[in-house]
Amino acid sequence: MSSEKFFTTKKALITLIAASLVVIVSLGIRQTFGLFFFDFNADLNISISHFGFVIGLQLLMWGVFSPIFGFITDRYGGATAIFIGFLFYLAGLFLFYSGLNTGYLFTLTIGLLIGIGLGGTAISIPVSVVAKHFPSSNRTIATGIVTCAGSFGFFVSPLLVRYSLIEIGWEITILYFCFLLGIGLITALFISTPKTPVGNNDNNNQTAKEALIEAFNNKSFIFLTLGFFVCGWHIALVATHIPTYMMDRGMPDWTAAMILALVGVFNMIGTMGSGYLATKFSKKKVLSAIYLLRGVSLIYFLYLPPSIFNSVVFGVTFGLLWLSTVPPTNGLVGHIFGTKHIGLLYGIVFVSHQIGSFLGAYLGGVFYEMHGNFDYAWYVSIALSIFAGLIHLPIKEKSIERVQTA
């Protein structure tokens, strides 16, 4: 059987490795911005609501530009899309390091430019390119490997950045980020996109416009898109505001970095596990379980007394569920619609994710300034877990049958 061989070509292997390195750099840097807040607040006079808005804008731009980079990927190849994304990412960080870092300039560099860069370099584009190299039997495992690589970046970066902030300060840390992005630029050149995706059963004459119309007239696509909104809210709220939340709970300042590092470690297990489970069981049921379990993890963390032990439990459990939504979500898009336009369609789903991210980061800061705590943000998070757990159940896991034109 052809499915017994995981790597069908050498290009598939090289692309998987390169895409994983891209995600490590892009998401590894992105994951640590919350740790910079106290320095930005002291040195640049950035308030928590301004910081939350800018991080939210960054995440929103990430989502808005994902379909654009997805279109570039489907038309011109993943290497082009990712390379352009890294140029924007590098421009934002370098301009910020150069002094364009206060007031509206903070919004321009950290929010707008880096957000656009993430649209081309972060999880959606590398995952979509890798998906084109693998048949449906192995696709969720392959995309799980890429997502797992991002988790490794999640694990390493908070620990290194916290050490760097203490020893050499935030300015030099940002400069080091610029060097890492330069490595990402070079790595992007090793990513190849097959002209004919493996396992593609699409009508090859289908245009991008026709693919969009087909998707938006499909209720399962709508449900999947709405569910991914919740994933974005959860991740942005925790990644952006967990340092402030832990400080308010009277915990040592290193516990936030510990939680983020634990998220990274156990996310590797979670993403690989969800990718595997999605090949054996219903993808929609795997997603429903992930979202409901997120609610359980949040309830445990919020309603039990603050302690190192409970912080560890939260880091472990939420880490297992962090990006484990990505392989089955991407897998459903590919399974239902095929892989010809998967970069574009998954990019659309990801827009919803990033709208949720924007609101999670921004409203978390707003709630904090209004009430002096994050309680209402957490209440919304728990309610959204229940919503997402239910909204995936009506999805029909069936490939669309298209009428072939002569």
Cβ 264 vs Cβ 23: under 8 Å:
no
CA distances from 61 to 170, 356, 403 (A): 24, 12, 36
Cβ 324 vs Cβ 292: under 8 Å:
no
| Domain ranges, ordered by start, for the chain | 12-391
Tens place of pLDDT for every residue, the chain, 406 residues? 344 567 677 888 899 999 999 999 998 898 788 888 889 988 998 888 888 889 889 988 988 898 888 888 888 888 999 999 999 999 999 999 998 888 889 999 999 999 999 999 987 789 888 888 887 777 777 877 887 787 787 778 878 888 899 999 999 999 999 999 999 999 999 998 887 666 555 445 777 788 888 888 999 999 999 999 999 999 889 888 888 888 888 888 888 888 888 888 898 888 888 888 888 889 999 999 999 999 999 999 989 988 999 999 999 999 999 888 988 998 888 888 877 777 788 878 888 988 898 898 889 888 988 888 888 999 999 999 999 999 999 998 888 776 554 4
Give the whole-angstrom CA distance, residue 51 versus residue 37.
Answer: 7
Query: Tell me, what DSSP letter sits at residue 107?
Result: I
DSSP string covering 216-228: HT-HHHHHHHHHH
- Closest to 139 (Cα-Cα) out of 335, 340, 285, 324: 335
Cβ 262 vs Cβ 312: under 8 Å:
yes
Query: Tell me, what DSSP letter sits at residue 305?
Result: P
Report phi then psi at 396, rounded to 5: -100, 110
Q: Looking at the domain that runs over 12-391, which CATH code has it been given?
A: 1.20.1250.20
SS3 77: coil
Q: Is 196 exposed, middle or buried (0-12, 13-18, 19+ CB in 10 A)?
A: exposed
Cβ 21 vs Cβ 324: under 8 Å:
no
- Closest to 60 (Cα-Cα) out of 232, 291, 240: 232
Token digits for 338?
């095929």
Q: Can you say whether the dihedral through the CA atoms of 203, 209, 212, 218 is positive or negative?
A: negative
- Closest to 302 (Cα-Cα) out of 285, 317, 320, 284: 317
Give the whole-angstrom CA distance, residue 356 versus residue 342.
Answer: 21
- Closest to 187 (Cα-Cα) out of 107, 85, 97, 103: 85
Give the whole-angstrom CA distance, residue 122 versus residue 115.
Answer: 10
Cβ 292 vs Cβ 182: under 8 Å:
no
CA distances from 112 to 44, 98, 107, 240 (A): 18, 16, 6, 17
Q: Where are the beta strands (DSSP E) in 63-204?
A: none
Predicted TM-score (pTM) of the model is 0.76
SS3 307: coil
Query: Tell me, what DSSP letter sits at residue 132?
Result: T
Instruction: Give the count of alpha carbons within 13 A of 343, CB side only.
Output: 31
Cβ 188 vs Cβ 22: under 8 Å:
yes
